[in-house]
Each structure stands twice: as C-alpha cells, then as structure tokens.
Structure 1
Amino acid sequence: MYKSQYIVISVAIIMIIGLALLPRVVVDNDKILSEEQVSGEAHSDPDNEEGILAEDYEKISKSIQSFYGSKSKEEKASILEEIIGEFKAINRYDSAAVYAEYFAIEYPEDNNFQKAGEIYFEAFTFAFDSEKKKRLAVKTREIFQRVLDNNPGLLDLKTKIGLTYMSSENPMQGIMMIRAVLEQDPDNELAISNMGVLAMQSGQYNKALARFQKLIELNPQDMQARFYLGVCYKELGEKEKAREILNLVKSQESNPDVLSMVDKVLSEID
C-alpha cells in the first residue's frame, strides 16, 4: 500500500499535507476550448512555469503538442496518459486534470469525465493554499456531479464530493453527504473510512474504533484500517492492542514512508 492510500482520506478532512502550489487553470465544462485557450492558460501563467525544471517543461510541451496534433481518439488518449504522468511527476495535478477534462469535453463520455474528476480530486487533496483548495473543490464537485447525474449508483463519487465540502464554509454538508452514502450502502468502505477519520479528528476514538473494526470485518487485508485502528487504541490508552496491530501493519508493509508513519506512532506508545 502506498503512503497516499493512508493520507488521501485524512488529508481531505484534516488537511495536514501540502505540496507546491498548483497552476491556476480552470476549464469551462459547457464549451470545448480551443488549443490556444487551454495551452495558453496552462503554460503562459507565471505560477505554472515557476519551479518546473527546463527539461521537464520541454518534455511536457512536446507531449502537449502531440496531443493537439493527434486526430485519433485512441492516439490522443494514449498521449493524455503521458501528459498526466508527466504533470503528476512534478506535482502539477491540476494541470494534469485540465488536459483530462479537455479530452472529456472533446469525447464526452462519463468515464472520461470521471477520470478528469478523479485527478481534480487528487489536486484538491494535495493542495495547500486555501483559495486553491476551494477552487479545486468546486471543480471536482462540478465534474463528479455531471457523472453522477447519469450514474447515481457511483457512491464513491458522492463520498468524494462530501469530502470537498470539508474545506468549505459548510463542512456539515459534507458530513451529511457521507452519512447519506452509508444509509444507502452501510458497507461502503470509502464512506466508513472517512467517517472513522472524522471521528478521530473530533476526538471520538470509540466511534472511530467501531468504524475501523467494521472495515476490517469487510476486508481483513485492509492495512489502512488496521493502521487507524492501532492509532485509536493508542489514544484510548490500550497500548498493548495498539502495539500488536501496528506491528502487524509494519510486518505487511514495505513502503518506507508508511513504515515511518507506523514507527512514529509506535515510538509515542513506548
């Protein structure tokens, strides 16, 4: 399991991680943008160019030129994957989302918009600046809602929309949305995880404990749930249970970032 799997939920609620500021780009869903509109916004803005190494910028620019020059949907989709990977590699998630959205506008299929929304959600998750986070939250909701209008059963998207409200002026709206998901599907793992982390944030460790125990019942291999369960036991003063669970997580993980997180909690127990 990667570190992002541990932090994506808690970051969205607690906002404990930030990366470099993402470029200021917003795309209008209601119209197809021209090459000049998208490429101009994405690449002429000083905030976008700042911090990008020359070799990275040159590589991405070539991919973007190929993207616009392609006449084939399949070829353009393949180049889009390259662009997304290149932008993510330098932590420019919202730039990656812009091109995913451009592709979805050109080929308006729900799966294409969902892909763009997922990348906007990633950008929202890792954004540090509050105004940027709000803007990305709005963009994520806009695109996910478009997909949900045609696919109301995609409950994970509803949960993620709820998460975007956690950084807004009305976080209760987000909580109510996630609760509504659980009313519709009591076994929805993403919603259970987020309600568990939210309970931890508010110091309700007994409630959080129940959430993570439920997750482990649903999926015994869920090391993320076991990690949070160990943290809950630690906070409730049950040190031996916490140590046992965290050592189990440690034995199942190889990612150094995750191991560092586990070791930090274990050191606080000892």
Structure 2
Amino acid sequence: MKKSQLILIVLGIVIISGLYALPKVVVDNKAGTTAVEDPMTAENSSPNVSELHANELSSDNQSQADQLKSTLTASGEPSERIDAAKTLASIYQNGGMFDSAAYFLGKAVELKSTDLLLIEEAGKAYYEAFSFALDKAKVEDLAEKTRTYLNQVLDKDPSRLDLKTKVAMTYVSSANPMQGITMMREILEADPQNEDGLFNMGILSMQSGQYKRAAERFEELVKYHPDNLQGQFYLAVSYFESKEKNKAKAQFEEVKKMTQDPMILESVQSYLDRL
C-alpha cells in the first residue's frame, strides 16, 4: 500500500484531507451535477518552491542536496544534471516534501522536454503534491502543473485512464468541478471496473454527503479489487454514515482481517466503539 494511502487510513477520516477544500457538489445522481458551495475563498500567495523545506532536511541530506543543486545549476552534461534533479526529487519525496520533489522533476523535464517518461514522472509528482495541499493558491498552482505535464502524455496516449483520473481530480477542485466529474464518468463508461475511477467517485460521493451512493461505488470497487484496503475502509465508513450499523460492523471487522497495523486497527476500533 502506498504511503499516502496508509496516512489517510491511519487518520481515520471519512474523506481525503484535500477534499475539505473542494466545492460541495452532487456528483452521482440522474439529475446531473449541481454546485452548492465553494469554500475555497482565502487568497494566499505561494512561496518560491525552490526555497521550500530548506531547513527541514537532515544534515546529511542537506549536504547532499546542496551538492546536487550545484550540479543541477552548473553548465555540465544534461544527463548529469537530470540525474541530479531526479536524485533531489527522491530526497525530498522520501522526506514527505512532495512539492519540492515535483519542482525538481520539473527542472529535469526542462533539460529533456521530449522525454515522455520523465514528463509523466513530473506530472505524477505534482499530483501527489496537489493531493496533500490545502491552501487555495497552492492547490490551484499544483493542479495546473499536474495537468500541464499529464496532458502531454495523454495527448500521445489517450488510453491512459490512470492519468486521466488524476487530471479529472484536479478539475474537481477548480472553479469548474463539473469538468472533472464528467471526465470521471467517461472513465467509468470506458472501463466500469477502473480502480481509480470507482474509488474517486466514491470519495466524491462521500464529500457531497451521498453516503449510500458512495457505498455502492465502494462495493463495486472491492468486488473487482478486493485487496484495495483503502476502498474496504471507506466502504465501512460509508455504511456507518448511512446508519447501516450491521453492514458497517461486518465491514470494519473485514478490514481488521486485512491488516495488522496497530494504528489502522485503532482507527477501525474507534468506529466500532460508536456502533
């Protein structure tokens, strides 16, 4: 399981943290999608990302990072500078500093702008940073950069539904959430068993308070992808919020069988104690 997925489950939240900042919309009914509220009203200015986390690395990592930054900005071979940028990105990513990791992968792309694999890597890094961002300006900036990179890959290969789901989610947090939701529906029309599509539509249904519909989405998800621990957990939460106590209890017990992580089990137990 990915580090970001583990964090979300351990927190025991009912929606991904970033979704608190999303516009409230009805995402999964026959009548269509209706915007209700957009709480992202605070204006914030983004700092220079190249200077972010300057004092948050360990002394050893900081020394290595300084050397790599010197290599990156020097007039050496492009391949060496790209390797320096990628290593810098890895250092920051391992430290949970996803915005800085994405920034340096973007610098690598500048040195080899035709490398689709590198472009995709940068786009995914920006999406990871986007998924953890909270303030309005940063969310918008990271979403735009995610689309800039991933759409280049999609232009070459429109069949990459895994990348399309990421682009769709960046639109959901924009001033036009319908564009993202429409894209997500298109993904599920093309591939009704799509893991990311089912998961994200379930999450969006939860965010809009449609817990019964969320449960249906997560039921589909775990039917086709039973090892998706995150989906299993949110299915239980959806049952809980829908007041389906027996189903919630049985589902939380199922989640307990899937992991031995004490923090996840504690989160599950907190729900069981409330049933």
TM-score (norm 2): 0.78
Structure number having the greater helix percentage:
1
Q: Which residue of 1 is the match for residue 68 of structure 2?
A: 63
Q: Which residue number corresponds to residue 92 of structure 1?
A: 97
In structure 2, the gaps of 5 or more residues are 10-14, 23-44
Look up the SS of the partner of 2:175 in the other structure: coil
C-alpha distance 149-168 of structure 1, shift in aligned 2 (>3 A): same
Q: Deviations over 1:78-105 (max 9, x none)?
A: 5444312221244332221122122223
Instruction: Assess if the C-alpha contact under 8 Å between 2:53 and 2:97 holds in 1.
Output: no
Aligned residue number for residue 130 of structure 1: 136
Aligned residues: 244
Asked if the contact 2:126/2:146 (under 8 Å) is kept, the reply is: yes
Who is 2:274 aligned against? 268
Deviations 1:70-125 (A, max 9, x none): 6373x555544431222124433222112212222322211110000000011111
Query: In 2, are the aligned partners of 1:22 and 1:94 still within 8 Å (CA)?
Result: no
- Give the 3 Å change call, closer, same or farther, for CA 245–260 of structure 1 in structure 2: same
Segments of 5+ residues of structure 1 without an aligned counterpart are 26-41
Report the counterpart of residue 156 of structure 1 in structure 2: 162
- Work out the CA distance in 1 between the residues paired with 2:2 and 2:256: 13
Q: Percent identity?
A: 36
List aligned pairs for 1:93-132, cutoff 5 A: 93-107=98-112, 108-132=114-138
User: Is the 2:202–2:213 contact (alpha carbons within 8 Å) kept by the matching residues of 1?
Assistant: yes
Provide the rounded CA distance (Å) in 2 between the counterparts of 1:228 and 1:249. Answer: 10
> d(CA) in 1 for partners of 2:196 and 2:257?
24
1:23-46 CA-to-partner distances (Å, cap 9, x unmatched) read 534xxxxxxxxxxxxxxxx24xxx
Q: Which moved more, 1:116-125 or 1:104-113?
A: 104-113
Counterpart of 1:222?
228
Equivalent in 76, 87, 90 of residue 82 of structure 1? 87
Conserved 8 A contact 2:102-2:122: yes
Counterpart of 1:4?
A: 4
Q: Kindly report which structure 2 residues correspond to 1:205-244, keeping only aligned pairs within 5 A, or say none.
A: 205-244=211-250
Calculate the TM-score normalised by the size of structure 1.
0.79
In structure 2, do the counterparts of structure 1 residues 24 and 92 end up closer, same or farther at CA, with 3 Å as the change threshold? farther
RMSD: 2.7
